[in-house]
């Protein structure tokens, strides 16, 4: 049975509920739902939200880990034409407040919290409160509605076009606070379809999904990559090596996703040898390039002979390229594969926009169905990212060889990617400048064996203050996600500057091993 593209997110699940109503679709904890059962749950949730008054264009923020309710909401909101706004489960109240206010969220759906963060306390500290606050656990906090007890209502389903925004994801760039990327069904369903096709998915495949649903990796490459081909999802609430390996073995999963550090964590787990990975066949590794020794171990010890590498960014829904399961080890570790079908890619000179030839380094630009609708309420930023002809400038430095394989060699923009998470230096710098000891600060990425990059900070202190990296770390802890907090600090008298007064961060990176220390 072939896969499905060019349908709405809401229509996708309905289609499989008609084609294969009794086929397993979702395993989440103790819950196992067929496509037919999941569709009925989605219709109930959509009816309940409609009864509250949630409808086309309303923004609903979802602050949950990988659980059944997230999947229900992804399809229920799309059926209504409402916009699912994803929320990182590491966010603190300051970050959540910014997101809710910037998108003018009408509703927030959230849970008790994680092992290291109390969501109830964070929500209590919000200055912006959506009209509806729904809670998925027990006991209920004050002023929250019980998600599971909401009465539903029958409704006539609206016709939702493929080019209507139904998903918004906040991504950090070089301009400071995150921007809301508006994505449509055409963007994400088709992107999921082509990624799944690249993995040779069929309804017999079973995907162990341990990457977070709040990123495109989870909700597009994961959910839609599987569901466009009738494959089933087997959710792990949050990445934990033992839980992932147990899920793979118990459910005989055929596919597994992750960033390189996730696979390394499993391979190095003391109980790795007792697990059976013989059911695994394929998967996607993204977030950073995979070192060849790690890829060899993944293939040999986890049976992932058809593992692929994908490259992209949220603004591209997210994938632009993917290696083939048939590619050799060199292509799967030194390139990010070839351009996906129905997309165009050019390498341009960032100085003058000139299109460059094979093997020349420049900025990777992409055009096609996957390019975002735009940034929410920010037409100027949208115009800077996407030109009048529909080309999205990725900010990544790349080259394309004569065989069409893309190599990413760096980033023209300044964003740090730590273990698959984007970190805006400006956001971290702005917060650090609020500490009384800090005169000025520059935040930059440095190479890290496990995470690809780690966050470092060079600090100029005010007169009379002593260097104290631990104090600055504590200053960040209650306001920034853990992955944004610098792990090493460099205290300097002056920054290296250009003639125009701009900080030369590349020199700070070069000096980092000699000058910096942990904090």
pLDDT band at 411 (very low <50, low <70, confident <90, very high): confident
The share of the chain scoring above pLDDT 90, in percent, equals 82
The reply to whether 296 falls in a domain is yes
Mean pLDDT over each residue of the chain, to the nearest integer: 94
Query: Is pLDDT larger for residue 478 or for residue 120?
Result: 120
pLDDT of residue 478: 87
pLDDT of residue 176: 57
Tell me the backbone φ, ψ of residue 395, rounded to 5 degrees: 80, 0
pLDDT of residue 291: 83
The reply to whether 405 falls in a domain is no
Is residue 383 scored above 90 in pLDDT?
A: yes
pLDDT band at 175 (very low <50, low <70, confident <90, very high): very low
Q: Does residue 339 sit in the same domain as residue 488?
A: no
pLDDT of residue 459: 95
- Greatest alpha-carbon pair distance for the chain in Å reads 72
Mean pLDDT, to the nearest integer, of 263-272? 95
pLDDT of residue 410: 73
Q: Does residue 236 sit in the same domain as residue 147?
A: yes
Q: Does residue 306 sit in the same domain as residue 438?
A: no
Instruction: Report yes or no: 320 and 339 within 8 Å, Cβ to Cβ.
Output: yes
The reply to whether 100 falls in a domain is yes
Instruction: Report yes or no: 14 and 39 within 8 Å, Cβ to Cβ.
Output: yes
Domain boundary at 400, 433, 457, which? 400
The share of the chain scoring above pLDDT 70, in percent, equals 96
Q: Does residue 285 sit in the same domain as residue 189?
A: yes
Q: What is the pLDDT of residues 437-446, one digit of tens each?
A: 998 899 999 9
The residue among 63, 438, 90, 394 whose CA lies nearest residue 239 is 90
Q: What is the pLDDT of residues 311-351, one digit of tens each?
A: 999 999 999 999 999 999 999 999 999 999 999 999 999 88
pLDDT band at 517 (very low <50, low <70, confident <90, very high): low
Domain boundary at 367, 400, 433, which? 400
Q: Does residue 388 sit in the same domain as residue 482?
A: no
Out of 19-33, 267-281, 417-431, least confident range: 417-431
In total, how many domains does the chain have? 2
The reply to whether 2 falls in a domain is no
Out of 32-46, 153-167, 285-299, 481-495, least confident range: 285-299
Instruction: Report yes or no: 115 and 243 within 8 Å, Cβ to Cβ.
Output: no
pLDDT of residue 516: 62
Q: The domain that contains 471 carries what CATH number?
A: 3.30.300.30
pLDDT of residue 507: 87
The residue among 310, 281, 333, 345 whose CA lies nearest residue 221 is 310
Tally Cβ neighbours within 10 Å of residue 192. 30
Cα gap 415→445, rounded to integer Å? 8
pLDDT of residue 268: 92
Q: Does residue 259 sit in the same domain as residue 165?
A: yes
Domain of 478, in residue numbers = 416-518
Q: Does residue 387 sit in the same domain as residue 485?
A: no
Is residue 226 scored above 90 in pLDDT?
A: yes
pLDDT of residue 415: 80
Q: The domain that contains 155 carries what CATH number?
A: 3.40.50.12780
Query: How many angstroms separate the Cα of 49 from the Cα of each of 63, 109, 134, 231?
Result: 16, 11, 10, 28
The pTM assigned to this predicted structure is: 0.87
The reply to whether 410 falls in a domain is no
Q: Does residue 180 sit in the same domain as residue 41?
A: yes
Mean pLDDT, to the nearest integer, of 479-499? 89
Query: Is pLDDT larger for residue 63 or for residue 154?
Result: 63
Is residue 216 scored above 90 in pLDDT?
A: yes
The reply to whether 190 falls in a domain is yes
Is residue 293 scored above 80 in pLDDT?
A: yes
Which token pair is 403? Answer: 């065989």
Angle at 336 between CA 414 and CA 452, to 5 degrees: 45
pLDDT band at 500 (very low <50, low <70, confident <90, very high): very low
Which token pair is 253? Answer: 């999963």
pLDDT of residue 379: 97
pLDDT band at 426 (very low <50, low <70, confident <90, very high): confident
Mean pLDDT, to the nearest integer, of 130-152? 98
Q: What is the pLDDT of residues 3-36, one digit of tens each?
A: 888 999 999 999 999 999 999 999 999 999 999 9
Q: Does residue 268 sit in the same domain as residue 292?
A: yes
Mean pLDDT, to the nearest integer, of 282-294? 89
Q: Does residue 76 sit in the same domain as residue 176?
A: yes
Q: Does residue 381 sit in the same domain as residue 278?
A: yes
pLDDT of residue 289: 77
Domain boundary at 365, 400, 435, which? 400
Cα gap 345→390, rounded to integer Å? 11
In sequence order, what are the residues at sequence separation of 6 or more whose Cβ sits closer than 8 angstroms to the Cβ of residue 353?
Answer: none
Is residue 167 scored above 60 in pLDDT?
A: yes
pLDDT of residue 147: 99
Q: What is the pLDDT of residues 99-113, one digit of tens each?
A: 999 999 999 999 999
Q: Does residue 356 sit in the same domain as residue 452?
A: no
Q: Which helix H or strand E contains 346, and what residues bound it?
A: strand 343-348
pLDDT of residue 174: 40
């Amino acid at each position: 049975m072939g896969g499905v593209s060019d349908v709405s997110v809401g229509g996708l699940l309905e289609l499989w509920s008609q084609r294969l109503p009794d086929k397993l679709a979702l395993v989440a904890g103790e819950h196992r739902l067929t496509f037919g059962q999941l569709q009925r749950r989605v219709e109930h949730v959509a009816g309940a939200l409609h009864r509250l008054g949630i409808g086309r264009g309303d923004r609903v923020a979802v602050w949950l880990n990988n659980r059944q309710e997230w999947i229900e909401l992804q399809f229920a909101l799309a059926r209504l034409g409402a916009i699912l706004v994803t929320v990182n489960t590491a966010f603190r109240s300051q970050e959540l407040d910014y997101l809710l206010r910037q998108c003018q969220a009408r509703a927030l759906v959230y849970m008790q919290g994680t092992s290291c963060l109390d969501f109830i306390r964070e929500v209590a500290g919000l200055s912006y409160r959506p009209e509806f606050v729904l809670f998925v656990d027990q006991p209920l906090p004050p002023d929250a509605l019980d998600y599971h007890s909401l009465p539903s209502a029958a409704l006539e389903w609206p016709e939702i076009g493929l080019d209507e925004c139904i998903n918004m994801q906040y991504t950090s760039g070089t301009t400071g606070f995150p921007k809301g990327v508006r994505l449509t069904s055409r963007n994400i369903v088709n992107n999921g379809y082509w990624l799944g096709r690249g993995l040779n998915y069929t309804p017999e495949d079973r995907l162990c999904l341990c990457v977070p649903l709040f990123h495109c990796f989870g909700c597009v490459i994961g959910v839609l990559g599987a569901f466009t081909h009738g494959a089933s999802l087997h959710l792990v609430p949050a990445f934990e090596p033992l839980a992932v390996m147990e899920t793979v073995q118990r459910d005989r999963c055929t596919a597994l996703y992750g960033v390189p550090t996730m696979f390394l964590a499993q391979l190095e787990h003391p109980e790795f040898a007792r697990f059976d990975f013989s059911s695994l066949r394929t998967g996607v590794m993204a977030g950073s390039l995979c070192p060849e020794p790690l890829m060899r171990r993944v293939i040999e010890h986890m049976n992932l002979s058809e593992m692929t590498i994908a490259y992209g960014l949220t603004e591209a829904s997210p994938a632009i390229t993917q290696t083939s399961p048939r590619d050799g080890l060199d292509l799967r570790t030194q390139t990010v594969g070839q351009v996906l079908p129905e997309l165009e890619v050019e390498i341009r000179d960032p100085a003058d926009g000139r299109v460059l030839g094979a093997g020349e380094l420049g900025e990777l630009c992409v055009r096609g169905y996957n390019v975002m609708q735009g940034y929410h309420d920010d037409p100027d930023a949208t115009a800077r990212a996407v030109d009048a002809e529909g080309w999205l400038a990725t900010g990544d430095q790349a080259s394309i060889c004569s065989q069409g394989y893309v190599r990413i060699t760096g980033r023209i923009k300044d964003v740090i990617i730590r273990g698959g998470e984007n970190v805006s230096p400006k956001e971290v710098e702005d917060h650090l400048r609020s500490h009384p000891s800090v005169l000025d600060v520059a935040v930059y990425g440095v190479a890290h064996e496990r995470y690809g990059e780690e966050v470092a900070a060079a600090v100029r202190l005010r007169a009379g203050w002593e260097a104290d990296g631990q104090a600055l770390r504590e200053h960040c802890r209650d306001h920034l996600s853990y992955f944004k907090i610098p792990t090493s600090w460099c205290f300097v008298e002056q920054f290296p500057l250009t003639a125009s007064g701009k900080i030369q961060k590349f020199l700070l990176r070069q000096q980092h091993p000699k000058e910096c220390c942990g904090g």
